[in-house]
Amino acid sequence: MIQPSQETNRNQAGPFDFHLDARDGRARAGTFYTPHGALETPVFAPVGTAATVKAVSPDQLEALGATLVLANTYHLYLRPGEDVVAGLGGLHRFMAWDRPLLTDSGGFQVFSLSDSNRIDDDGVTFKSHVDGSTHRFTPEKSIAIQEALGADIIMAFDECPEPYDRTGVERAVERTQAWLERCLAAKRRADQALFGIVQGGIHPDLRERSARAVMALDLPGYAVGGLAVGESKPEMHQALDWMDDLLPADRPRYLMGVGTPADLVNGVLRGIDVFDCVLPTRMARNHTAMLRSGGRLNLKNAPFIRDPLPIDPDCGCPTCRTFTRAYLRHLINAREMLSATLLSIHNLHTLVNLAREMRRAVLAGKFEVFAREFLAAAEGTAE
């Protein structure tokens, strides 16, 4: 573990400083400073795609202990427009969230939501999923939108390829690096941290090439992209092992779009600090509760009609402290909106609290034991 004498005085920390508070094996506990407060890592960020975490208010998020929320550049560009958000005081004020915010670059949505996108070395032309209108994103456009929105952490515009297509992955590595350099040149705001994204799929040499090129720009943080997009879990874990060997220890590491309990534990085991995923709220809207073990309960099913238990008897979230499975099933079958809120609160609490537990375990020098016991208990549980 890192001794306190090795830590920088937190009262003197500047924006986007990252301090390693402790290590246990490859697992890390750190603090990343932003203009809207410090993020203690590991941390899970609920996804607020359109400036809202679906079915959950900012007050409820804060009560759950959430400290970082992700919003989506592509969706906010299409509606209401970044100029509207900027004119109303920026994204923090617009969505009434005064803690740290992260915006993605819009790249994943541009590539995944449009069947007719056209990619070239300058950028991407795509059709809106809302009304079919044609738009174009370039690295400079993505940065301009994110600067107008005003999040604390902004992401470089990148290309996310299919992981097994080596030719496509190699092309994406080169294009992503060129776009990152253009993003950095276009960036004007000093109160936003630009994170670079490492691509390379499941190919170790391409991962190394991408990581070394991104690190050469000396950015305040680094994201691992191109995972959880079709590769196997062992392949994802191997790629994270490569990243831990390559990425600098003194910057935060962000694994994009990963969010099962086992994924978080496996990520922290391999040196990851920050996670986000739509999974907990998407599951909630589909009547499903996430269990800490990785299991799931579809509460629409008939066996829960008279079930007096909470979702998880060991969970301390407001939903589990107050409501039964039977009541939740009733709300679902009556098509009451409250069901999505209560399930989202539980699911988000499961991941936000797990990140806090992992931090405590790292600080105590007990994370490897924690992870081994957690994953052993979760083994064989359907996710």
Distance, CA of 150 to CA of 133 (rounded, Å): 25
Domain annotation covers residue 116 = yes
| Average pLDDT, integer, range 306-334 | 98
Q: Is residue 336 a part of any domain in this protein?
A: no
Instruction: Tell me the pLDDT band of 10, cut-offs 50, 70 and 90.
Output: very low
Say which CATH number the domain at 242 has.
Answer: 3.20.20.105
Domain count, the chain: 1
Q: Is the pLDDT at 363 greater than 70, yes or no?
A: yes
Q: Write the pLDDT tens digit of every residue in 119-137.
A: 999 999 999 989 999 999 9
Say what the pLDDT of residue 111 is. 77
Active site residue 263: no
Confirm whether 105 is domain-assigned.
yes
Q: Check if the beta carbon of residue 229 is closer than 8 Å to that of residue 164.
A: no
Q: Given pLDDT bands bounded at 50, 70 and 90, which one contains residue 382?
A: very low
Average pLDDT of span 251-269: 97
What would the mean pLDDT of 205-229 be, rounded to a whole number? 97
pTM: 0.95
Average pLDDT score, the chain:
94
Mean pLDDT computed over 19-39: 98
DSSP 71: E
**Does 270 map to a domain?**
yes
pLDDT above 90 covers what percent of the chain?
Answer: 89
What is the rounded average pLDDT of the residues 318-325?
98
Q: Establish if 323 belongs to a structural domain.
A: no
Average pLDDT of span 205-212: 98
205 is a catalytic site residue: no
Range of the domain at 241: 4-277
Rounded mean pLDDT of 72-100?
Answer: 98
Looking at residue 9, what is its pLDDT?
Answer: 45
- Residue 378 within a domain: no
Contacts of 381 (CB under 8 A, 6+ apart): 291, 293, 294, 295
In this predicted model, what pLDDT tens digit does every residue of 172-202 receive, in sequence order? 999 999 999 999 999 999 999 999 999 999 9
Q: In this predicted model, which residue has the larger pLDDT, 1 or 42?
A: 42
Question: E strands along 93-215, which residues?
Answer: 101-104, 118-119, 124-127, 134-137, 153-155, 193-198
Q: Note the pLDDT of residue 7.
A: 40
Whether 135 is in a domain gets the answer yes
Q: Which residues pair with 47 in a beta bridge?
A: 70
Is the pLDDT reported for residue 4 higher than 70?
no
Q: Which residue has the tokens 């990140």?
A: 355
Exactly one of 21, 24, 104, 273 is catalytic; name it.
Answer: 104
Whether the per-residue pLDDT at 28 is higher than 50: the answer is yes
Among candidate residues 21, 273, 276, 312, the one labeled active-site is 276
User: Residue 3 above 50 pLDDT?
Assistant: no
Helix (H) / strand (E) element for 168: namely helix 166-186
DSSP-assigned letters across all residues of 286-329: TTEEEPTTS-EEETTSGGGTT--S-S-TT--SHHHHH--HHHHH
The tokens of 323 are what?
């409501």
Taking the C-alpha atoms of residue 355 and residue 206, their distance in angstroms, rounded to an integer, is 30
Q: Is residue 117 part of a domain?
A: yes
